[in-house]
């Protein structure tokens, strides 16, 4: 890792906070801005500096962005890089939010015009996954820029995969989150089926998690499905955004995506019922309702496969 590299961080939400915290704890020179400043303040305990103005990040060597949608990315970067801010410009922007191909390409064009290197670097994992050191990145853009950013990406988790030039990382991330949506819906269907047939959810999921079909994902969703702990990791609306991005990409590249379409509609039904504030795995409750049963927490200690 290059010493003396200054890092700027925009966005201390569920993901951004945990990611910036790892860099701060790792000893990086990092300054953080969040729209709601109070949410970022505890990062100072880990060694980060929390700034008041976005413009204060404009001279950092590498500027990371982790907000919600492309509109938000455009808004924050627009302010951070405002030409009126005569402070200078970052050498590189690493954009980690889950945004569209088109948004990412527009951003690349804008940054190119300003002579700033740009990496598209969306992630896989939730805040708990980050804490467990298992976050992963998929990255695209110029290879030399990737080599410079790689040590910092490595510090935030289990490493990164470089997939090529341009916006290819966006497509990889969209594919990944389409799988997230389809898999959680299916996991909810089979968990409710198993329960309605007579077995406890924890017993069924114990079997599934030990089998070849078990995964880090099925394991870390198990506490939610067994004990109905729907503390939000990822909101239904953010998942809907990603399924929509997947369907848009399917249309663009003329790839039929029937499972994605169906899952998007099931998620929309849940959002239509006002179930927007808890975790996306509340799809389990929708599935139970559609199956004529009411679920109760099993109150059984189950591992999420992440905590040591
Ligand atoms: N959660 C997950 O499991 C997960 C996993 C992989 C990828 N992602 C992606 O990561 C991104 C962040 O997700 P998250 O779960 O961390 O979301 P979140 O907790 O809702 O945080 C969103 C962050 O963006 C900021 N923000 C939103 N709109 C803004 C605007 N117009 N101006 C300035 N700041 C703005 C928020 O600031 P405030 O604090 O002021 O609201 C907050 O810091 C999303 O693109 C999501 O799809 C999430």
pLDDT (0 to 100) of residue 127: 92
| Residue nearest to ligand 1 atom 18, measured at CA | 13
Q: Is the CB of 100 under 6 A from ligand 1?
A: no
Can you list the residues of the chain whose pLDDT is less than 70?
1-3, 83-86, 308
pLDDT (0 to 100) of residue 135: 97
Report the nearest atom of ligand 1 relative to the CA of 129: 3
Phi, psi of 156, deg, nearest 5:
-85, -5
pLDDT (0 to 100) of residue 82: 86
Mutate to test the pocket of ligand 1, among 13, 95, 131 (most ligand atoms within 8 A of CB): 13
C-alpha 235: how far from chain center: 11
Report the nearest atom of ligand 1 relative to the CA of 125: 5
CA of 95 to the centre of ligand 1 (A): 12
| Residue nearest to ligand 1 atom 29, measured at CA | 72
pLDDT (0 to 100) of residue 184: 98
Q: Is the CB of 136 under 6 A from ligand 1?
A: no
The answer to whether 40 touches 69, Cβ cutoff 8 Å, is no
């Amino acid at each position: 890792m290059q010493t003396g590299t200054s890092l700027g961080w925009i966005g201390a939400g569920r993901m951004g906070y945990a990611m910036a915290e790892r860099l701060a704890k790792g000893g990086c020179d990092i300054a953080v801005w969040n729209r709601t400043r109070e949410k970022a303040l505890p990062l100072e305990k880990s060694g980060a500096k929390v700034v008041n103005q976005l413009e204060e990040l404009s001279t950092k060597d590498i500027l990371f962005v982790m907000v919600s949608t492309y509109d938000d990315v455009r808004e924050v970067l627009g302010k951070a890089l405002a030409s009126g801010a005569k402070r200078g410009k970052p050498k590189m922007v690493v954009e980690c939010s889950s945004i569209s191909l088109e948004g990412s390409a527009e951003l690349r064009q804008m940054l190119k015009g300003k002579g700033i290197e740009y990496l598209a670097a969306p992630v896989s994992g939730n805040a708990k996954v980050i804490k467990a050191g298992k976050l992963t990145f998929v990255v695209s853009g110029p290879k030399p820029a990737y080599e410079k950013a790689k040590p910092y990406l490595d510090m935030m988790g289990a490493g990164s995969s470089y997939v090529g030039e341009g916006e290819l990382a966006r497509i990889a991330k969209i594919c990944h989150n389409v799988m997230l949506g389809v898999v959680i819906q299916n996991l909810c269907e089979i968990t409710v089926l198993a329960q309605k047939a007579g077995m406890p959810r924890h017993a069924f999921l114990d079997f599934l998690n030990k089998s070849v079909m078990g995964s880090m994902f099925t394991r870390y969703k198990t506490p939610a499905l067994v004990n109905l702990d729907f503390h939000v990791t990822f909101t239904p609306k953010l998942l809907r955004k990603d399924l929509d991005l997947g369907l848009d990409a399917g249309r663009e590249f003329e790839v039929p995506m029937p499972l994605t379409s169906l899952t998007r509609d099931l998620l929309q039904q849940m959002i239509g019922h006002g179930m927007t504030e808890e975790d996306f795995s509340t799809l389990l409750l929708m599935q139970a309702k559609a199956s004529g049963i009411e679920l109760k927490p099993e109150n059984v200690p189950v591992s999420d496969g992440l905590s040591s």
